[in-house]
């Protein structure tokens, strides 16, 4: 499994921006920060195809004497399937802790990163966008991991290629990309975004 893990210290500032259930755990130390990508065996392909992504915060309590671990979801990913996977992963982690100790394990399920965005199709993006709109209606599309990665790559390619003196406003670009991807699902999402960006800046 290619799951990427890293120990982190979640600060109170980070928790302040999270949901109340996580903020309430501010005194519980952070034990692990795990990122699971669609290419990892731990991320079911069926969920990835449906655009299911999210982040679960799990509180893990260790019973060293009984060699048991209790895992409780403190902040849901809004997917029962991802939450269940996060709980299972937390219980299996090799964490040395005193009897009765508790800590937070953050598990993020992300479909895309910098090496996958270049080959992402509009059809796949359309699925992800629909899932985000239905599951996280309070979030903007620009917050989608695929969109964040794509915008960063596009800014770099436009400026390094000398195609633009300035980058277009993000929201109009996203709206144009969403509309174009809806019309041409077989196209590459990043290619479509680049074309729409060039239109907006008049190149």
- Residue 162: CATH number of its domain: 1.10.890
Q: Which domain holds residue 57?
A: 4-110
pLDDT in tens, 23-82: 445 578 999 999 999 999 999 999 999 999 999 999 999 886 657 789 999 999 999 999
Question: What pLDDT, on a 0 to 100 scale, did the predictor assign at position 6?
Answer: 35
CA 99 to chain centre: 32
Handedness of CA 169, 148, 87, 21 (dihedral sign): negative
Question: What pLDDT, on a 0 to 100 scale, did the predictor assign at position 114?
Answer: 86
Of the ranges 18-27, 68-77, 91-100, the best mean pLDDT one: 68-77
Do 168 and 75 sit in the same domain of this protein? no
Do 25 and 121 sit in the same domain of this protein? no
What is the rounded CA–CA span in Å between residue 1 and residue 133? 30
Collapsing DSSP to helix, strand or coil, 5 comes out as: strand
Do 100 and 164 sit in the same domain of this protein? no
Do 10 and 91 sit in the same domain of this protein? yes
Q: Which residue, of 75, 110, 145, is where some domain finishes?
A: 110
What is the rounded CA–CA span in Å between residue 179 and residue 192? 10
Is residue 18's pLDDT more than 50? no
What is the rounded CA–CA span in Å between residue 52 and residue 40? 14
- Rounded to the nearest integer, the mean pLDDT of the chain is 84
Q: If residue 31 lies in a helix (H) or strand (E), which one and from where to where?
A: strand 30-37
pTM above 0.85, yes or no: no
Q: Which residues pair with 70 in a beta bridge?
A: 61
How many domains, in total, are found in the chain?
A: 2
126 band by pLDDT with thresholds 50, 70 and 90: very high
Q: At what angle do helices 145-160 and 170-183 cross, to 10 degrees?
A: 110
What is the rounded CA–CA span in Å between residue 60 and residue 13? 22
Question: What percentage of the chain carries pLDDT values higher than 90?
Answer: 64
Q: How far lies 54's CA from each of 60, 165, 176, in Å?
A: 19, 35, 25
What is the rounded CA–CA span in Å between residue 81 and residue 54? 10
Question: What pLDDT, on a 0 to 100 scale, did the predictor assign at position 1?
Answer: 43
Q: Which residue, of 110, 137, 155, is where some domain finishes?
A: 110
Query: Which of 95, 26, 84, 36 shows the shortest CA–CA distance to 60?
Result: 95
What's the rounded mean pLDDT across residues 80-91?
96
Question: What pLDDT, on a 0 to 100 scale, did the predictor assign at position 26?
Answer: 57
Which tops the pLDDT comparison, 195 or 20? Answer: 195
Question: What pLDDT, on a 0 to 100 scale, did the predictor assign at position 15?
Answer: 32
Question: What pLDDT, on a 0 to 100 scale, did the predictor assign at position 49?
Answer: 96
What is the rounded CA–CA span in Å between residue 19 and residue 97? 26
**How is residue 11 written in tokens?**
């600060």
pLDDT in tens, 164-192: 557 889 999 999 999 999 999 999 999 99
What is the rounded CA–CA span in Å between residue 129 and residue 146? 10
Do 97 and 122 sit in the same domain of this protein? no
Q: Which residue, of 110, 144, 170, is where some domain finishes?
A: 110
Question: What pLDDT, on a 0 to 100 scale, did the predictor assign at position 129?
Answer: 95
């Amino acid at each position: 499994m290619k799951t990427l893990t890293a120990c982190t210290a979640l600060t109170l500032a980070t928790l302040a921006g999270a949901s109340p259930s996580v903020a309430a755990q501010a005194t519980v130390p952070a034990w692990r920060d795990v990122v699971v990508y669609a290419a990892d065996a731990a991320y079911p392909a069926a969920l990835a195809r449906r655009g299911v992504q999210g982040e679960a915060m799990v509180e893990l309590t260790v019973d060293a004497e009984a060699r048991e671990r209790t895992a409780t979801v403190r902040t849901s990913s809004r997917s029962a399937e991802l939450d269940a996977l996060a709980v299972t992963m937390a219980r299996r982690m090799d964490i040395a802790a005193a009897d009765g100790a508790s800590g937070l394990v953050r598990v993020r399920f992300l479909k895309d990163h910098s090496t996958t965005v270049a080959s992402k199709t509009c059809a796949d993006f359309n699925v992800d966008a629909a899932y985000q709109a239905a599951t996280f209606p309070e979030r903007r599309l620009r917050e989608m991991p695929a969109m964040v990665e794509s915008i960063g790559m596009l800014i770099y390619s436009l400026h390094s290629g000398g195609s633009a003196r300035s980058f277009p406003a993000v929201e109009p670009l996203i709206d144009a990309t969403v509309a174009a991807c809806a019309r041409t699902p077989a196209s590459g999402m990043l290619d479509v975004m680049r074309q729409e960006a060039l239109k907006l800046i008049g190149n």
